[in-house]
Structure 1
């Protein structure tokens, strides 16, 4: 899917972010720094990682600047509400910056942190894939905690089968 118009992309991307946000309501505040394995991202790390990579890596790169991403630990936001606020605030900053892009801007080349040249619209598409990947990790973490989560599109697999 080629991204040709930034405004329609931002509407789509905000819906993706909203589905991630729905999961936040199911995270017990005392589990924000829980992890499945020592040394791996905590739930809070994942949320901060999404916020910080979006704004400080992806958006910086598509603005033809180097990545400013330097981690996602509690030094960026400590506690449940501060972590959620960081996610929301940095997304708003990203949208404000990206909304200035023209169709011509989307066709320019930028450089990834790995030094690869890529068309801007393709890196924006990768940003969406990154969000979805980490949302899946959040679903897995919550399942390990035996926390019921909302179905992503309104029905569970079992409910879809029953409707046949």
Structure 2
């Protein structure tokens, strides 16, 4: 199994685990966050797909446009208004499918290629960037489950 196959398999596996959380998200808690300054429930979902869409552009196209905007402006500036949980879930699924398709066609050597941007002090290999997308989703899935547990949502303790 090469790095591409491993990435595609692991990304899909972790998305299945994230999908299990979607049905228990209370749609009326889109703006809820545990403390001022923390991402809301809806913003967490937006952040997962928005960052995936931007970060994948580095190994796919050698474009740093997401980071060039995100780093100086901050996270909240790139998220925009979030108004519909189901729309955010749809965008997560769309972005996930696109990532799988794009990476399946990406030249294998890009996994080992080093991508750098001196202005952003960024230097990583393609595989680290792509597997970081998976790690990022796992991290925010756990954060979302913590939010749901605080809210007392049944089924959030898995």
Instruction: Give yes or no for TM over 0.5.
Output: yes
Contact kept in structure 1, 2:3 and 2:127, CA below 8 Å: no
Q: Secondary structure at the match of 1:146?
A: coil
Q: How much does 1:33 deviate? A: 2.0
Which of structures 1 and 2 has the bigger CA Rg? 1
Q: Superposed, which structure 2 residues align to 1:112-127 within 5 Å?
A: 114-127=120-133
Q: Secondary structure at the match of 2:24?
A: coil
Which residue of structure 2 aligns with residue 140 of structure 1? 146
Cα distance in 2 between the residues matched to 1:40 and 1:91: 24
Change (3 A) 1:150 1:143: closer
TM-score of the two chains, using structure 1 as the length reference: 0.80
Q: Secondary structure at the match of 2:14?
A: helix
TM-score of the two chains, using structure 2 as the length reference: 0.82
Change (3 A) 1:128 1:66: same
Equivalent residues, number: 147
Which residue of structure 2 aligns with residue 60 of structure 1? 57
Q: How much does 1:150 deviate? A: 5.5
Q: Deviations over 1:96-123 (max 9, x none)?
A: 2111123322111113684321111111
Q: Superposed, which structure 2 residues align to 1:4-153 within 5 Å?
A: 4-56=2-54, 58-63=55-60, 64-68=62-66, 70=70, 71-74=78-81, 77-111=82-116, 114-149=120-155, 152=158
Contact kept in structure 2, 1:4 and 1:106, CA below 8 Å: no
Cα distance in 1 between the residues matched to 2:146 and 2:34: 9
Contact kept in structure 1, 2:116 and 2:124, CA below 8 Å: yes
Give unmatched runs, 5+ long, in structure 1. 153-164
C-alpha RMSD of matched pairs (Å) = 2.1
Cα distance in 2 between the residues matched to 1:72 and 1:88: 17
Which structure features the higher share of helix residues? 2
